[in-house]
Amino acid sequence: MRLIFGLLFLSMLWLIAFPSFAPAEPEILIQFPFTSNLMAQASGFSREPVERNPIQTSGTDLNSLESSASYAVSDLPVLMAQLNDPVREETELEEQPDTIADPLQPVNRIFFHVNDKLYFWALKPLASGYRAVVPEDFRLGVKNFFSNLTTPVRLVNCLLQANFKGAGNETIRFLLNSTLGLAGFLDPAKTELRIEKRDEDFGQTLGFWGIGPAFYIEWPILGASSLRDTFGYAGDLLLDPKTYLIQSVPVGLAIRTYDQVNETSLRIGEYEDFKRNTLDPYIAKREAYHQNRKHKIKNR
């Protein structure tokens, strides 16, 4: 606890001492040579230019239906490599098609089903009723408030990833939004200064330092996760002020539920669309989770 506030305080001092680090242009990251190397390692591709596959660039004939049937490479990795065009080569040229291991699939599918029912029978009716009564601006305010409260999670994880610019952004956002933004309900840091939130968590920090997701886990209620991100979630709980501010367990759960209902009220319909447009929603959710996490780890 003391450590967290210590870090917060230190990063504030840092900003006061070196105002040049203040994020005038939030999009530009400070990149030390060693961090970009680590990034490359973490995302699983080497920085050396990869030699282009001769088959895939040999001509446009590959694109027509008739000729594409003529190359009968049944070896999956070879074919996948061919399908990966040069643009995505640097990010996605992997030995295996990129999916996440799923040894717990039978159990995960059961919990996927439970979560699905939980959404349609409990969460959605609650969120719809809530949406009908509470105006959208207020609900966005509540979302901002909860998000502002979890600043320590993002700030510490920025620091753990040596992302000092991100940490500076989060500090400024917290100071500004907690005061001028009326305890976080408004987001003047974004609307006035264009300082975007850095969506970092401990799972991403672990990923940044080269730890893979291990395997997929579908938790009841909490939803999609992986072994790595489950540890990450536990770490984030330790950095979440709500864990310390609210002593009573039922009140804590009630507040977290409210946060969830509020969040859901802003995105009713998305899950329905997703289910309608997928052939195997469980697989689709698992892969979407995996890809999105990889994307977040890479774009820190």
Partner 1 sequence: MNRTFLIQAMLCLSFTFGMVVPGFAGEPQDQLRETTDKVLSVLTDPDLKSPSKAKERRERIQKILDERFDWEEMARRSLARHWTQRTPEEIREFVPLFKVLLERVYADKVEGYSWNKISYEGETIDRDYAAIKVKIFTAKDQAIRVEYRTLKKGNHWLVYDFSVEGVGLVNNYRTQFNEIIVKSSFQELIKRLKTKSPQN
Is 80 or 134 the residue whose CB approaches partner 1 more closely? Answer: 80
Q: Give the shortest CB-47-to-partner 1 separation in angstroms.
A: 16
Query: Which residues inside 134-193 make contact with partner 1, applying CB under 8 A?
Result: 136, 140, 190-191
Stretch that binds partner 1, among 112-120, 220-228, 249-257, 285-293 (CB under 8 A): 285-293
Nearer to partner 1, 13 or 76 (CB): 76
Contact of 161 with 154, CB cutoff 8 Å: no
168, 38 in Cβ contact below 8 A?
no
Binding-site member from 97, 103, 125, 129 for partner 1 (CB under 8 A): 97
Q: Are 279 and 89 in contact (CB under 8 A)?
A: no
Indicate whether 248 belongs to the interface with partner 1 (CB under 8 A).
no
| 243 touches partner 1 by CB under 8 A | no
Interacting span for partner 1 (CB under 8 A) from 82-90, 159-167, 173-181, 237-245? 82-90
When the beta carbons of 144 and 171 are compared against partner 1, the nearer one is: 144
Q: How far apart are CA 140 and CA 184, in angstroms?
A: 11
6 touches partner 1 (CB under 8 A): no
Tell me whether residue 137 or residue 244 sits nearer to partner 1 (CB atom): 137
Residues 6 or more apart whose Cβ sits within 8 Å of residue 62: 55, 56, 68, 71
When asked if residue 63 is in the footprint of partner 1 (CB under 8 A), the reply is yes
DSSP H helical ranges for 209-278: 227-239, 241-245, 249-265, 270-276
Do 202 and 233 contact (CB within 8 A), yes or no?
A: yes
Q: Quote the CA–CA distance of 226 and 221 in Å, as a whole number.
A: 14
Stretch that binds partner 1, among 86-94, 106-114, 205-213, 235-243 (CB under 8 A): 86-94
Q: Does 116 bind partner 1 (CB under 8 A)?
A: no
Asked if 143 and 262 count as a contact pair (C-beta separation under 8 A), the reply is yes
- The secondary structure of residue 196, as a DSSP letter, is -
Is the Cβ–Cβ distance between 157 and 202 less than 8 Å?
Answer: yes
**Which H or E run contains 218?**
strand 216-219
- The contact set with partner 1 (CB under 8 A) reads 57, 60, 63, 65, 68-69, 71-74, 76, 79-80, 83, 85-88, 97-99, 136, 140, 190-191, 196, 269-270, 273, 276-280, 283-284, 287-288, 291-292, 294-296, 298-299
